[in-house]
Structure 1
Amino acid sequence: MASAMEDDVVTLDRRSIYILPTRAGIVFTGLLFVLLVAAINYSNGLAYGLTFLLAAVALVALLYTHRNLHRVRISAGNAPPVFAGEVASFEVCLSNSGQTPRVALRVEQEEARSGARPPWRMAGRMQVARVHLGDGETTCVTVSLPTLRRGYLRAPAISLSTEFPLGIAHAWSRRVMLPTRILVYPRPAPPRPRLAAYGGGEQAGTAAARGGDDFAGLREYARGDSLRHVHWKAVARGQGWLTKEFGGGSLGVQWLDWDALEGLEVEVRLSVLTRWVLDAEQVGELYGLRLPGKIVEPGSGEAHRDCCLIALALFGES
């Protein structure tokens, strides 16, 4: 079998499509042979005509089966990040760049297990979807893959196949490897107490450095400020969004520190830190992340959360 085709966009051509008869096609060929022998033995013109007619239909069907895959374009779609243990979803888009509809296309992906399969189907493949493409139409299907560990996960190889129109021939494409990768975040640890209970200060590692508990004044709200420090009474009176400052202007910051989890294995630490990031974002805290060789400065919001999760997912990766 030829090597896989690797590119951002792959268009199937004659060199990337293979075709063989199905079981029904082999039976059909045998019947044609019997008809031909009978026509020769009995010198029956009607039998000759029927044999050649059926043979012509079979040849035309072979051409249509091959053409059903010809000029189908395969490209990558969205691939949102997931947490380890979840199912990763890769979007694969199929486009018809020809002028005739493409009917009954099967999308297949590599799978871990293998079983008894027809000779034309590669071992370790499973059907993902059945697709019909009109003239110039594009359809996207989802290819799923379980995740076991953090880091980048590449999309599995896929192929297209068809037996349209008569089912007497099976055409399939070479394996296609799209460059899509999904980032797999560490699996979050089970829910734990609120961040305020994680540690008492820098020595404990979560650095609940709040700069004192004395109220120091108000200032205009800035993006990333903790919602716990918003002066809600002022908001209710229509005075705008104001943020309370404590201890000379230092706002509460949670430091999620690698060293706070000393004694735990690497993956366990990453799992706990992932849980802390999610909890901190949920309660609207300002939080930063300290890892060996990398520090994510305090902030909040989805972009900051994703930055922390990416750092955790790629920790130790070269």
Structure 2
Amino acid sequence: MSVTHAPSEVILGRRQLFMLPTRFGLLFALLLVVQLLTAINYGNGLAYALTFLLGSLAVVSMLYTHRNLFRLRLAAGICTPVFAGETAVFRIHLTNDSDTPRFGVTILHEKKEIASVDISAQDSADVELPIPTKKRGHLAIPPVTVTTRFPLGLLYSWSRRVALEQSCLVYPRPADSMPRRTRDQETLDSMHGLGAGGDDYIGTREFHPGDSPHHVDWKAVARGEGWYIKQFGGGYQPTIWLDWDTLPDLDTETRLSVLTRWVLDAERDGMLYGLRLPEKTLAPANGEYHQHECLRALALFGQKS
């Protein structure tokens, strides 16, 4: 079956929709034939009327079955990044721009029903498509098929397979916890400058007239080392480099898994951390955005971004 491609959304047109009778519809048609033959055999006017009435309902239902999907708009939503081995959840946004509601709109993936929704007039609905992940990188949203049996179940209408242009970023699977290896010692240098007024001891400086005697390093004075003032500040965090070259004994995917674990641990511990890869270097920082950038670099290592 052919696949319909779209940049980010697709509107189902007449050439993208198909329709066939269901098993119940074929049974209904057979019943009409038998009823018509009975009406002809007995010349019964009421039997003729009932046959033509039921036949008219079947013909009208064709229009409603087709219209239930016609001009329905599908768009890809945002997929939150996941780690390899977890389930990526794609979101498909269904929009009904018409003035009539849509009932029993069903989304299929690999012939399996994902969800069935009713969409009011001038309204929309979201459908989630869970896909297991196995490896890092970009995971494209798989093609889906839109179907319906509305209103009587006599006819089955479906669309071509629709492949929206959307992907989910899959981070490498984090390795088990292991000690960090680094070529550089961790430091207490702040990436944001001194932060006076904190409770962390950050060193000493020479005594100046007017300094508070409470901050004098009296132990240094007693040792005859001179007069110094103890300094305290805030915002001082250990800084560490997470380096690809410190794991020469591991293969590529294992290195990426270990570095992923180190990124998560460093962020959890509130450290300033940088990432060195053969093709990219990220300066030390921390926070949700920096963690994402590091994990993204690891996920797309050796691939086209």
Determine which of 233, 236, 242 is the counterpart of 1:242: 233
**Residue in 1 that maps onto 2:27:** 27
Contact 1:104-1:164 at 8 Å conserved across structures: yes
Question: Identity rate of aligned residues, in percent?
Answer: 46
Give 1:109 shift.
1.7
Q: Does 1:311 align with 2:297?
A: yes
Matched length: 271
State TM-score, norm by structure 1. Answer: 0.80
For residues 244 and 180 of structure 1, the distance between their equivalents in structure 2, rounded to whole angstroms, comes to 40
**Residue in 1 that maps onto 2:114:** 128
**Residue in 2 that maps onto 1:210:** 187
Give 1:77 shift.
1.0
For residues 142 and 135 of structure 1, the distance between their equivalents in structure 2, rounded to whole angstroms, comes to 21
Secondary structure (helix, strand or coil) at the match of 2:100 reads: coil
Give 1:16 shift.
1.2
Contact 1:231-1:244 at 8 Å conserved across structures: no
Q: Does 1:171 align with 2:157?
A: yes
Amino acid in the other structure paired with 1:219: L
**Residue in 2 that maps onto 1:231:** 199
Determine which of 280, 286, 289 is the counterpart of 1:294: 280
Give CA deviations for 1:276-308 in whole Å, capped at 9, x if unaligned. 000000001111111112111111111111111
Q: Relative to structure 1, is the Cα distance of residues 290 and 43 closer, same or farther in structure 2, using a 3 angstrom cutoff?
A: same
Secondary structure (helix, strand or coil) at the match of 2:32 reads: helix
For residues 254 and 175 of structure 1, the distance between their equivalents in structure 2, rounded to whole angstroms, comes to 49
For residues 307 and 160 of structure 1, the distance between their equivalents in structure 2, rounded to whole angstroms, comes to 36
For residues 188 and 102 of structure 1, the distance between their equivalents in structure 2, rounded to whole angstroms, comes to 44
Q: Relative to structure 1, is the Cα distance of residues 52 and 243 closer, same or farther in structure 2, using a 3 angstrom cutoff?
A: same
Contact 1:5-1:174 at 8 Å conserved across structures: no
Amino acid in the other structure paired with 2:185: A
Contact 2:3-2:163 at 8 Å conserved across structures: no
Contact 2:188-2:239 at 8 Å conserved across structures: no
**Residue in 2 that maps onto 1:151:** 137
**Residue in 2 that maps onto 1:40:** 40
**Residue in 2 that maps onto 1:82:** 82
Give CA deviations for 1:72-123 in whole Å, capped at 9, x if unaligned. 111111111100000001110001111111011111123xxxxxxxxxxxxx
Give 1:165 shift.
0.9
Amino acid in the other structure paired with 2:275: L
Q: Does 1:220 align with 2:195?
A: yes
Q: Relative to structure 1, is the Cα distance of residues 244 and 167 closer, same or farther in structure 2, using a 3 angstrom cutoff?
A: closer
Q: Relative to structure 1, is the Cα distance of residues 284 and 55 closer, same or farther in structure 2, using a 3 angstrom cutoff?
A: same
For residues 67 and 5 of structure 2, the distance between their equivalents in structure 1, rounded to whole angstroms, comes to 19
Q: Relative to structure 1, is the Cα distance of residues 59 and 283 closer, same or farther in structure 2, using a 3 angstrom cutoff?
A: same
The answer for unaligned runs of 5 or more in structure 1 is 111-124, 213-217, 222-229, 235-240, 246-250
**Residue in 1 that maps onto 2:240:** 254
For residues 146 and 296 of structure 1, the distance between their equivalents in structure 2, rounded to whole angstroms, comes to 30
For residues 101 and 2 of structure 1, the distance between their equivalents in structure 2, rounded to whole angstroms, comes to 28
The CA RMSD over aligned residues, in Å, is 2.1
Contact 1:65-1:164 at 8 Å conserved across structures: yes
Amino acid in the other structure paired with 2:199: H
**Residue in 2 that maps onto 1:225:** none
**Residue in 1 that maps onto 2:258:** 272
Give 1:244 shift.
7.1
Give 1:252 shift.
3.3
Structure of greater Rg: 2
**Residue in 2 that maps onto 1:14:** 14
Contact 1:7-1:179 at 8 Å conserved across structures: yes
Contact 2:76-2:93 at 8 Å conserved across structures: yes
Q: Does 1:55 align with 2:30?
A: no
Give 1:61 shift.
1.1
Secondary structure (helix, strand or coil) at the match of 1:129 reads: strand
Contact 1:8-1:75 at 8 Å conserved across structures: yes
For residues 108 and 149 of structure 2, the distance between their equivalents in structure 1, rounded to whole angstroms, comes to 14
Q: What pairs with 1:58-73 in structure 2 (closer than 5 Å)?
A: 58-73=58-73
For residues 97 and 245 of structure 2, the distance between their equivalents in structure 1, rounded to whole angstroms, comes to 56
Amino acid in the other structure paired with 1:55: G
Give 1:4 shift.
2.2
**Residue in 1 that maps onto 2:271:** 285
